[in-house]
Amino acid sequence: MKQTILVTGASSGIGLLLANKLHQSGHTVIGTSRNPEKYNLPFKLLELDISSDKSIESFTKRLFSQIESLDVLINNAGYLVSGLAEETPIELGRQQFETNFWGTVKLTNQLLPYFRKQRHGKIITVGSILGLIGLPTVAYYSASKHSLEGYFKVLRFELNDFNIKVSMVEPMGFKTNIGDSAVRSKVKIDDYDLLRKQTAAFSKETFDKAPTPEPVVNTVLKIIDQKDPKFNFPVGQGASFILTLQHYAYKAFENSILKRMRKAA
Ligand SMILES: NC(=O)c1ccc[n+]([C@@H]2O[C@H](COP(=O)([O-])OP(=O)(O)OC[C@H]3O[C@@H](n4cnc5c(N)ncnc54)[C@H](OP(=O)(O)O)[C@@H]3O)[C@@H](O)[C@H]2O)c1
C-alpha cells in the first residue's frame, strides 16, 4: 500500500538513502533538512531544524498545507557530540539533548494530534546501539539516545488504543556523514591523555570498518510493512551478541571493550 511518509534529516546518510528508497517504491515522501535549498532531490525536501521551536511550528503548518494525511513519521535527524565526559563542556551536552532528544520529542508531539485524529500511524525513531549500551567518548550522545528509548517506550503504551505503532531502530556504526559533522570537545585534561589516545584509535578503527547503511534502511522498510511491529530493532553485525553479553555478563562485555580499546592504540 502506498503511504505518505515523513523522514527527518533526509539530506544525508541513513535518511537520504531511506527517503530515496521509499520514493522509488512509489510512496509519497517528505524529507527535511535545515538547508533544503542546498539539495536537488527527487522527493520533496522541506526546511526543518528540530532544535528550534519556531522551525518545528512553521514546518508543521507547511507540511499539512501540502499533504492530507500522514501515515509514517521517521524521526531520523540527529548528530553526534564526542569527547570524554569530563572534557565535554556541559553546553555541548545541552545542545546534544536539544536536538537528539527534545527536538525529536517536540516534533513528535506536534504531529500526534494528526495521528490521533486519523486513528492510525507509525512513529519510527532512529536511536542507536549507544541508546542501549555505553562506550567511552559519547556520554551525551549515548544519554540522549537512552532518553529516546525511555520516552518512546512509554509513548508506545499510551498510543496503543489509537492504533499508532511506535518502534525504535538501533543501528551499530554505519558509514554516513555523522563523523564529519560531529561536534568534538576541544578541552584536554592531562590525566586523560592515554585514554584519549586509546579511544581515538578505537573509534577510528570502528568508523573505518563501518559498512554503508543499507541494513538500517531495510530494517525501517520492514517495520513500515509490518502490521504490528515490535518495539526494538537493533541493526548491524554483532548487535544481538553485544546486547546479550551486556545483559547476561556485564563484566565480560566491559572487558572486551577495554581490551579492544587498548589494542587499537
Ligand atoms: N551512522 C551511524 O553509525 C549511526 C549509528 C547509530 C545511529 N545513527 C543515527 O542515525 C541518524 C542519522 O544519522 P546519519 O548517520 O545518517 O548522519 P548524517 O549523514 O550526518 O545525517 C544526519 C541528518 O540529520 C539532519 N540533522 C542534523 N541536525 C539536525 C537538526 N538540528 N534539525 C534537523 N535535522 C538535522 C541532517 O540534515 P541537515 O544537515 O541537512 O539539516 C542530516 O540529514 C541520527 O539520528 C544518528 O544519531 C547513526
pLDDT digits (tens, 9 = 90+) for 12-45: 999 999 999 999 999 999 999 999 999 999 999 9
pLDDT at 245: 96
> Count of domains in the chain?
1
Sorting pLDDT into bands at 50, 70 and 90, what band is 214?
very high
Q: What is the residue-averaged pLDDT of the chain?
A: 97
Task: Check pLDDT > 90 for residue 1.
Answer: no
Sorting pLDDT into bands at 50, 70 and 90, what band is 127?
very high
| Residue 109 main-chain phi, psi, to 5 deg | -60, -40
Percent over 70 (pLDDT), the chain = 100
| Residues of the domain holding 116 | 4-191+211-237
Sorting pLDDT into bands at 50, 70 and 90, what band is 265?
confident
Query: What distances in angstroms separate CA 174 from CA 104, 196, 230, one per listed residue?
Result: 21, 22, 23
| Residue 226 forms part of a structural domain | yes
Atom of ligand 1 nearest to the CA of 48: 33
Which residue has the least CA distance to atom 38 on ligand 1? 33
CA 14 – ligand 1 centroid, Å: 7
Atom of ligand 1 nearest to the CA of 176: 19
| Residue 13 forms part of a structural domain | yes
Active site residues: 141
| Residue 254 forms part of a structural domain | no
Protein residues whose CB sits closer than 6 Å to any atom of ligand 1: 8-15, 33-35, 48-51, 76-79, 99, 103, 126, 128, 171, 173-174, 176-178, 181
Closest CA to 261 of 161, 192, 174, 176: 192
CA 39 – ligand 1 centroid, Å: 16
| Residue 79 forms part of a structural domain | yes
**CATH number of the domain that 230 lies in?**
3.40.50.720
**pTM, full prediction:** 0.98
| Residue 256 forms part of a structural domain | no
Q: Distance between alpha carbon 112 and the CA centroid of its chain, in Å?
A: 19
Task: Check pLDDT > 90 for residue 5.
Answer: yes
Give tens-digit pLDDT for 163-211. 999 999 999 999 999 999 999 999 999 999 999 999 999 999 998 999 9
Q: Which helix (H) or strand (E) holds 125?
A: strand 121-126
* Average confidence (pLDDT) over 109-134: 98
Which residue has the least CA distance to atom 40 on ligand 1? 33
| Residue 205 forms part of a structural domain | no
CA 15 – ligand 1 centroid, Å: 7
| Residue 253 forms part of a structural domain | no
| Residue 182 forms part of a structural domain | yes
What is d(CA 122, CA 155) in angstroms, rounded to the nearest whole number? 12
Atom of ligand 1 nearest to the CA of 52: 31
CA 65 – ligand 1 centroid, Å: 26
